[in-house]
Structures are given as structure tokens and as C-alpha cells.
Amino acid sequence: MQEATTETSADRLTAIRTRISAAAKLARRPAQDIHLIAVSKTRSAQDIEPLILEGQMLFGENRVQEAASKWPALKERHPGVELHLIGQLQSNKAEEAVALFDMIHSVDRLSLVTTLGKAMQKLGRAVPCFIQVNIGAEEQKGGCAVAELPDLLKAAQDAGVPVAGLMCIPPAEVEAAPFFALLAELSARHGSAQLSMGMSDDFETAIMLGATYIRVGTALFGERPRMM
């Protein structure tokens, strides 16, 4: 498997861009409607920079603390890079998250909406948010219940939190398509514009079903070191 080890993240990025274009064409959608977020959790600045040099400008992190230690320096070196929070957010980190991130994909409860609204007002910074839906009604998973979605959307509006759209992480080990389709239907029902869904193993399916932001880690960077 010599080839596999010499393949760079830049090579993988090119391959993924080709697959995104092909999936968009099949879905009869403009490829530029699909935004690739490179999920860089656990990766070092050294891993990340080659992708920026290839023109990859959107990155996703799942922990505020890890992002805070890596990204301020990277953003200074590479203006125009956008940072997305894709992992669960604790209310006590909301202000730090508003200061650091350009979009937040994991808003899933009323108390967080309120806290984010206050933080945005205090910092004078409007960060577009996704409401994360627990689309498979899984006990351990983040995201609001489907039934809570209307209340959360209303609360966000009241709190001045801009909602970009809906996000989901479907259950592992089963076909993701029905869950993506359900999120797309909820999105249409509530008139939200963006859909954050699809990861390394299923982003083409997500594109077929309307994803506008896909979150890809492993397929770009290779397997993550165990632990996180």
C-alpha cells in the first residue's frame, strides 16, 4: 500500500472536490452551493496549512478550547479562513465561541440560545447558527428533539441569534439517507436556508438530499489518532 502512504491531504482535497462536483451534477445542483468544511479536530497547524494553501478556507472544530489554542495564530497568518464550531457547546463557553467562530452548528437547547444571544449582543458580533436536530432520537446524542424545533427557532429569533439552518448527525452504522431526507423536510417546512449534513462516509448522499455544508475529516486528513 505504498500509494496510500504517499497520498497527501492536498491530493485528497482534490479528489473530494471532484466527488462533490459529481454528486452536485447528479443532483442537478450548482456545485458552489455546497460548502466543504474541513474538520480539523486533533490535527496540528502543520497538518492544516497545506490545505489552506490549496484554497480550502472553511474549517471545523468540535472543541472550543482546542480551537482557541490552534486557530488565532492560523487566522492571523491566513486572513479569510472561516472557523466553524461543529461540536457540543457548553453555555459557559458561549462567549468564547462567539468571539472565535464564524458559524456555530450545534445549537440545541433554549438555555444555549439565550446565552448565545447575550454573548453576541455583548461582543457586537452576529454569528450565524445552525439548530442541531437529534434526527435519530438517540439518547446519548446532542441535538434537540424534532418536536422542540419550532420553539427553538422562535427563541432564536427572539434572542437575536441568526439561524442559518439545520444540522444533524445521523445514527452510526445505518443508512443515513432517510435521516438526511427528514432534516431536509424539516428545513423546508421551517423555511431555513442551509443544511449542515454529511461526513466522510456519506457526504455524496447528503448532497443528493440537499446538504449545503458538508463536514469532512477523515477522508481529507486520514484516520484520526485514537483518543478524541
In the complex with ligand PLP, the residue whose CB is nearer, 158 or 201, is 201
Residue 166 interacts with ligand PLP (CB under 6 A): yes or no: no
The DSSP code sequence of 72-136 is HHHHHHSTT-EEEE-S---GGGHHHHHHH-SEEEEE-SHHHHHHHHHHHHHHT----EEEEB-TT
Minimum gap (Å) between residue 201 Cβ and ligand PLP: 6
Minimum gap (Å) between residue 122 Cβ and ligand PLP: 27
Candidate list 9, 40, 56, 62; residue touching ligand PLP; CB under 6 A: 62
Minimum gap (Å) between residue 106 Cβ and ligand PLP: 7
Residue 21, SS3?
helix
Span interacting with ligand PLP, options 19-27, 49-57, 75-83, 217-225, rule CB under 6 A: 217-225
Residue 215 interacts with ligand PLP (CB under 6 A): yes or no: yes
Quick one: which H or E segment has residue 165? strand 163-167
Candidate list 57, 66, 87, 222; residue touching ligand PLP; CB under 6 A: 87
DSSP classification of residue 177: H
Rounded Cα distance, 12 and 90, in Å? 33
